[in-house]
Amino acid sequence: MWVESVEQVGDELVGLSVERLDDDARERTAATIAWVTLETVRGGAIDTSTPWQELMHDVMRQHVSFAVPDERAANLDAERWSEAIDCALRQFMRQNELASSVNRHIDAMLQTHRSGHPDSRSVREVS
């Protein structure tokens, strides 16, 4: 199912269609976003060529579409397109209720990572 909306980007209205994922796809997407986010943070990569950026571009290509008439598309410069993409990503996360699932997966991954490293336990646990 696709959810349609119209978003204000600068002075232009941009049509936005966001796919609402089924439960399985939602969980897989949340787990993937969580894993790539953790790996990106651990690696210290923050530029636009990071795996996180690539994943978000793939998500956007597969699950989001924009509707902008040709005459208005010319009015959207790089800054406005960046704003439109940011808006679309937030809508995708909101429509699929991904934030809590991503956070849950991150917590579970961090827990697993900590339990696999004895040096990360607290002093009380070691004593």
**Residue-wise pLDDT tens digits, 85-126:** 889 999 999 999 999 999 999 999 999 878 876 554 433 333
Sequence-distant (6+) residues with CB within 8 A of 113 are 120
**pTM for this predicted structure:** 0.77
Q: How far is it, in rounded angstroms, from Cα 18 to Cα 3? A: 5
Q: Where are the beta strands (DSSP E) in 10-112?
A: 12-19, 64-67
Digit-coded pLDDT (tens) for 13-45: 889 999 999 999 999 999 999 999 888 887 776
**Which range has the worst mean pLDDT, 1-15, 17-31, 64-78?**
64-78
